A and B are shown apart, each in its own frame.
Chain A
Amino acid sequence: MKSIAFIDGGTYYHHATYHDPELARYFAASIYAPELNDTDLAPFDCLYVASRQEAEFLVRAKRSFDAFLAAGKTVVVMSDTCAEDWVPGVRWQPAPVNFWWWLTPGADSGLRLAAPDHPLVQAVGLEAFTWHQHGYLLPPAGAVSLVDLASGGSVFYEDRVSTPGRLLVSTLDPCYHHGSYFMPATTRFLRGFLPWLAADDAG
């Protein structure tokens, strides 16, 4: 199993996600974001940067992230982390959050599978990616979008070209909702995504 470190911003929902008995088994450690530069990242294969973090601490640790990726390892970057300031290749387009789309019977979430054969998509399914979107991403050339917006842009992509490692970048914010006991799709997403991420054959 891959050794995944959970990057924790100190909020209640980060705490709840990391300590969730169903998810805790996939995390080898929790690293408090302000302490990133004091932490040896070498033991880990993957850093999971949970949604909604203070950008300052991530930007300050940019060198550590760059070195981690240079070693061929994986960094997961979720929503509201000001990723464009510290993650190579990220172009984030803000847009109003579509909180209420699902109240309209038969409404279209606007999400489209862009890589239906990708093993993560196979493991999770489009439904588990589906709640609302905090803007969208413009993936760099050579990156693979897993889920697109019908109106353009990606909400989740895999980038193996911008660094020697692998970046999984998303506009989704599962930790907040899962850790608030609020939105079942976010729980389904984490229960699908984390086992896939931790599996030895996940690349």
Chain B
Amino acid sequence: MSAILYVRPVGHEFPSFLALPEAEGMRSCSVHELKAADFEQADAIIVPSHVDQRALAAHAEALEVFLDRGGSLVFNGHLVYPVLRGLECFVPARGGRVEDLLVERVAEHPVFEGVELQDLSFRRGVAGFYGRGANPPPPGAQVLHRLKGDGSPVDWYWERPAGGRVLMHGGNPLWMYVDDPSSAARIAPQLLRWLKAGFQPGV
């Protein structure tokens, strides 16, 4: 069983996500209280969108070491500080019309199994919650979802050559949909189950 560390943000947490049976055993630590040992003890680290990225970037080296030894990082939000070497900053999507903001699937991934694109593209009929741009994927990353308008790669999965893996979502946290009466509610438990199953490169 993998040890998951949830990095607590400036508020805007989702109690239903933290209360999922799949979240049992998940440790939680404020981004302002992170210590070297937190990175050393975790197999997976989850970063929510509302995190103080400046504080997280102060741990960039520890995060890199964590990944080098095979860790899993799930990052949500617009990347604007050097949190991880090699990643580029968020690029807003061009075009904000409804049809531009529709989500397209590029590749399957266990976290999104059974999740309908309609349920990512719309909440109560409103488009644009899922993504408004993307954190550019590094070479070798697999794009999972993109925006229809300009192809912004809003989600991608990357097995780093140096070790570890990154699941990137350039928007509000993936578990935002946990209480939605739609297939998007599957994301949060599937994300935790995927992390708990551990990481074997190439699988």
Interface residues of A (CB under 8 A from B): 8-13, 15-16, 32, 34, 52-54, 56, 80, 100, 103, 180-182
Give the residues in chain A near B9, CB-CB below 8 Å: 11
Max count, chain B CB within 10 A of own CB: residue among A13, A181, A182 = A181
- Given A12-B77, A32-B54, 8 more A-B residue pairs with CB atoms under 8 Å apart are A10-B81, A11-B52, A11-B53, A16-B80, A54-B52, A80-B12, A103-B126, A182-B128
Chain A nearest Cβ from B48, distance in angstroms: 10
CA distance A60 to B80 in the complex (A): 26
Asked whether B138 is an interface residue with its Cβ less than 8 Å from the other chain, the reply is no
Determine whether the beta carbon of A80 is less than 8 Å from that of B11: yes
Within 8 A of A (CB), among B35-93: 49-55, 77-81, 90, 92-93
Determine whether the beta carbon of A54 is less than 8 Å from that of B10: yes
Within 8 A of A (CB), among B165-199: 172
- Which residue of A has the minimal Cβ distance to B171? A180
Chain B, residues 101-135, CB within 8 Å of chain A (1/0): the string is 00000000000000000000000111010001100
Determine whether the beta carbon of B133 is less than 8 Å from that of A11: no
Determine whether the beta carbon of B96 is less than 8 Å from that of A11: no
Determine whether the beta carbon of B10 is less than 8 Å from that of A15: no
Given contacts A11-B50, A12-B78, contact A54 B96 (CB under 8 A): no
Secondary structure of the B contact surface, majority rule: loop
Chain B nearest Cβ from A133, distance in angstroms: 16
- Which residue of A has the minimal Cβ distance to B128? A182
CA distance A9 to B51 in the complex (A): 9
Determine whether the beta carbon of B124 is less than 8 Å from that of A100: yes
Asked whether B32 is an interface residue with its Cβ less than 8 Å from the other chain, the reply is yes
Give the residues in chain A near B133, CB-CB below 8 Å: 181
Partner of A180, one of B53, B55, B78: B78
Given contacts A10-B53, A180-B78, A182-B132, contact A34 B11 (CB under 8 A): no
Given contacts A10-B54, A180-B132, contact A52 B10 (CB under 8 A): yes
A-B contact pairs, 25 of them (CB 8 A): A9-B10, A9-B52, A10-B52, A10-B81, A11-B9, A11-B50, A11-B52, A12-B53, A12-B77, A12-B79, A12-B90, A15-B80, A15-B81, A16-B78, A16-B80, A32-B54, A52-B11, A54-B10, A56-B32, A100-B124, A180-B78, A180-B132, A180-B172, A181-B93, A182-B128
Max count, chain B CB within 10 A of own CB: residue among A12, A34, A181 = A12
Give the residues in chain A near B93, CB-CB below 8 Å: 181
CA distance A80 to B50 in the complex (A): 12
Give the residues in chain B near A10, CB-CB below 8 Å: 52-55, 81
Chain B nearest Cβ from A7, distance in angstroms: 13
Determine whether the beta carbon of B96 is less than 8 Å from that of A181: yes
Determine whether the beta carbon of B51 is less than 8 Å from that of A11: yes
Give the residues in chain B near A15, CB-CB below 8 Å: 53, 80-81
